[in-house]
Structure 1
Amino acid sequence: MSDYPNSPTPDPAPEETEQGPAQRSRPSPKVLMAAGLATIVVLVGAGVGISALAQDEEPGATPSASSSPSPSAAAVETSSAPTPVPTSTEPLPPAPTVFYEQAGPPAGSPLEAVEAMTIEVSDEPTGTELPSNLIGLSLEATDLADPRMSGDNPEIVASLTGLGRPMLRFGGNAVDRRFFWTSSNEAIPGNLEGDKAHPVRAAGPADLERVNTLLEAADATISLTVDMGNYDPERAADMTMHASDIFGDRLVGITIGNEPNGYPTNGLRPSDWGIPDYLEELKTYADAMYEVAPEVRIVGPGTYAEAWWEPFTQADLQQEKILSFHHYPLSQCDGSNDPLGEPIMDNLMASAIHDRADDYRRAALAPAEAAGLETWIPETGISACPGSNETTKTHASALWSVDYALSAAQIGIPRLSFHSSLLTCQGGPPMSSICSGGPYLQPDATFNERANYYGLSMVAELPPGAFLQNTAQGGGLAYSYVVRHEDNSMSVVLVNQNDPEVAAQTDVTVTLPAAARTSSMTQLAGPSYGAEDSTIIDGAFAAPVPAGERPAIPGFVPGAESVQLPVTAGTVSVFNFTF
């Protein structure tokens, strides 16, 4: 919504802007163990049983909502009939001897009891799928001109590779205010204005060629936004033609204008300009773009106003369309109009934000499904409010990111790009999942990852597959998701959002639709909601351990149809099973 949500003023206060990481946050194949956090324990013997670790139930604990949505027509088609998990006739493998040991509750925690949780996994698909390219990053259009965005920069390649096969979306407010496309080295027009932190930049075909080397190195795709604020359909068509020629199939779509619903209030259009005017200009732009690149899809309207969604789905364009909208759930900056929308920790870690986000996203899916269109969220994050707040850079943002991404995919949204920045960690937007090294406004070629990045990485490491229905009860503030992969293995994801400084471990029972042959586990953890630069995966500031190297779920026995284990609060656990 803003140039960079949670961006600083040009002269930020150090206490609000300096990240100051204790160590580099670099995805690595090595597991660098963090003292007092996740370790691996070796148990010898073939007869390890499944035992319950008793927890005192807390009367009145709030049960979690079921994670079994209705099917979405916009999702990848799946069979309406359930596909049974095959039962292998091969002998069961030996009992595992290496089990995952979680991070424990922080020392001195009150350890308030959490109601035991049961997750019953069904063989019934939801009708939606988890794609391999769900997670993406959204950047400003001016970042196309950044020379660090190159396949020759191993730092940015590693950051993107840790997000699976991401879509890089270039847009933001820069598109219509500080970005100028030229394929003939024209001078930048004088009407474009920037500032020290957000300068005006021009980009041309050579920049797209350089960015394409990054896409190839990271196996990523790209979505672009053309300037509509400064009306020029021919220039947009020229950019589209070059982008199509250079990126080929990696170009997944182009949006015409950034958040056009805001044009009448930001001075880009008269105050009486509205949806009919937008649709007329959209048609002119799209026709010009179709003449030079008819295969490029139009993604839009890219607004945060619901009234614009259905008219876009009905727009008479020659190209294929994809409905898109922007979403920052906690953007009532002072909370005066909507206290539940204020970016504070009590709102972020509450069931209301989960439920409201689902309702809002389903509202966008409805007109798209009626028109037979996909729905994307190419720009999202916790909040679009400027400056730091108590949710930014925190472990809680990692927990939220996992739940937001999986719940979106489960209701039928196949692409999400989390708005980020290439500015420095010191002084740069604190909501950004990545940030560069160097003093404020003097970035170098290195990149760091913040807590929310590791949440996105947990989602990105999941193999694609079909969501299965599951029934979850108890567990306090917790959500579960189940995906059956192409090889018939299964991942059960438990997002335990209970406060790690207060809540005891939750006694969790997962019941499967068939007997499992093997199991493995990976986990994201952190010491508190507000902890900064402390979110780890499998004990390291790194992407998840490769699936084949993960220890077994504690207490798992080959042939079991259920597992029971205590799960630490403030964690995201992925339980993998083969059958």
Structure 2
Amino acid sequence: MKKIILVILAAFGLTSCSKSNINPQISPSQPANGIPVSVTINQNQPGYVIPVTFQGFSFEVGILPKLPSFLNANNTVLIQLIKNLGSGILRIGGNSSDKTSLTNTNIDTFSAFAKATGWQVIFGLNLGSYSPDVAATEASYLSNSLGSSLYVLQNGNEPDLFYNNGIRNPSYSYSDYQAEWNNYFSAIRKLLPQAPFAGPDVSNNTKWISSFSANESANVKLIDGHYYNSGPGTNPAITYQTLLAPNTRLSAYLKALNTASSQAHLPYRISECNSIYGGGKVGVSNVFASALWALDYMWQVAENNGSGVNFHGGNSGSYSPIALDNNVITARPEYYAMLAFKYGTTSGTIVPATISQTNSNCSAYACTNASTTYLTLINKDAADLSFTVQLSNAASKIQIARLTAPTITSTTGTTFAGTSVNADGTYQTGQTENYTVSQKTFIVNVPAGSAAVVTVN
């Protein structure tokens, strides 16, 4: 397997806590070294503003009673890893949400954890057992326990698959779900007149999303659905190469979500997502390639006006960005993609990044924040690429940091800006490179199977 060369990434806005080169070099700092690719950035055409809470994690409800020490205020390492990403949203749901009963202690323990992170919460109620009164009582207690940390409630998880997993009979349809959802909504609103809701939290059924957003736009504050690149993990045809291949299904799904969201005048969010459904696939979901996929995926959602994503995982599952490996909280490669996205967006406004015609498997994204432009270049190809970046405004300097993994199939050894997260969960960017420029064009070499995020001032 070809060794991965250091990935180029930028430590945006963190110069004061970076180890920078003392003597800035004159750019173009890198002679072209790879297949040429041209990228044009239109800095004067602002689009969607990326929300500060764009990133998120999704956890199973079942973790709360089964592993109370995980989502716990005493789990300071996990809390710190979450805080490293800035603001975000936690989601509690998953398949176990329609099969699990919670105690007040379970809820209070999680509430203390959520408050310690500073993140808001999407919480899934048990629709599978269908008891509106029980759900209303739980929702009331949740609201009191979480307080301002409660973002929205959800009624059920992937109801479009209820017919397929034994929760409802084979004839269960959207109209059946709509009736059940309305009964839950009414029961909860009797106890909590201002209770916030989201829905329909389907697996991927865009018809249900369209119907729900049209029918319930006055009663919810968020439209949501799930996305997995492929699955199940037992499929031998799934490899890290197929994970990184272009996926037209995602484009169509995001277009449908964006349309429903726009028509309902509501934001949409991918409330549960990851690489391979069913817990992921070893050798695909837990390797460095998953970081490239995740970074590309987040940008695609952002470019389609999504308000955010919640990567599913937790204490187990090969796709989990943060996992409990041998009783040690571990940041896996996908987590480093989330760090890269954080430092490469900073609540920026998306601007067009156009790649010239190329046969290479690569992506380019850009956003601006005040006078700074952030450019993300992702090379999913097997060959090194040399990006010539054409700006619409002249630049004075660029800053580059590096992300590395021994190989594209490495499960360990990932670093960002010269460092990995510490044992206590803390993270600080390490070495960066700085170059002065006085032109609108510069070159960034991006080795095979790597990404580059560049800060331009």
TM-score by length of 2: 0.87
The 3 A distance-change label for structure 1 pair 213 and 538 is same
1:465 corresponds to 2:365? no
Q: Residues 488-519 of structure 1, C-alpha deviation per residue, up to 9 Å, x if partnerless? A: 322111112223xxx23x22222222222332
CA–CA separation in structure 2 for the residues paired with 1:128 and 1:41: 32
Q: Residues 369-420 of structure 1, C-alpha deviation per residue, up to 9 Å, x if partnerless? A: 1121211111100111456343121110010000001110111111210110
In structure 1, the residue matched to 2:329 is 447
Residues 143-542 of structure 1 mapped to structure 2, 5 A cutoff: 143-145=63-65, 146-177=68-99, 179-180=100-101, 202-204=102-104, 206-304=105-203, 305-316=205-216, 319-331=219-231, 342-351=237-246, 353=247, 355-385=248-278, 388-422=281-315, 428-438=316-326, 444=327, 446-461=328-343, 462-473=345-356, 474=358, 476-485=360-369, 487-499=370-382, 503-504=383-384, 506-542=385-421
The correspondence for 2:444, drawn from 565, 573, 578, is 565
| TM-fit CA distance, 1:155 | 1.0
| TM-fit CA distance, 1:545 | 4.7
The 3 A distance-change label for structure 1 pair 550 and 316 is same
| TM-fit CA distance, 1:317 | 7.1
Native 8 Å contact 1:343 1:390 kept in 2: no
In structure 1, the residue matched to 2:432 is 551
The 3 A distance-change label for structure 1 pair 420 and 521 is same
Q: Hey, which of these two has a bigger chunk of strand by percent?
A: 2
Native 8 Å contact 1:525 1:570 kept in 2: no
CA–CA separation in structure 1 for the residues paired with 2:25 and 2:219: 61
Q: Residues 133-181 of structure 1, C-alpha deviation per residue, up to 9 Å, x if partnerless? A: 111111101223313323332111122113322211111111112x10x
CA–CA separation in structure 1 for the residues paired with 2:217 and 2:360: 47
CA–CA separation in structure 1 for the residues paired with 2:333 and 2:83: 16
The residue identity in structure 2 corresponding to 1:407 is Q
Residue correspondences, number: 432
In structure 1, the residue matched to 2:14 is none
The 3 A distance-change label for structure 1 pair 209 and 128 is same
Residues 64-83 of structure 1 mapped to structure 2, 5 A cutoff: none
In structure 1, the residue matched to 2:11 is none
| TM-fit CA distance, 1:570 | 2.0
The 3 A distance-change label for structure 1 pair 545 and 522 is farther
| TM-fit CA distance, 1:238 | 1.5
In structure 2, the residue matched to 1:108 is none
The correspondence for 2:43, drawn from 123, 135, 157, is 123
The residue identity in structure 2 corresponding to 1:373 is L
Gaps of 5+ in 2: 1-17
The 3 A distance-change label for structure 1 pair 164 and 228 is same
Secondary structure of residue in 1 paired with 2:432: coil
**% identical equivalent positions:** 21
CA–CA separation in structure 1 for the residues paired with 2:176 and 2:54: 33
The residue identity in structure 2 corresponding to 1:458 is A
CA–CA separation in structure 2 for the residues paired with 1:457 and 1:49: 26
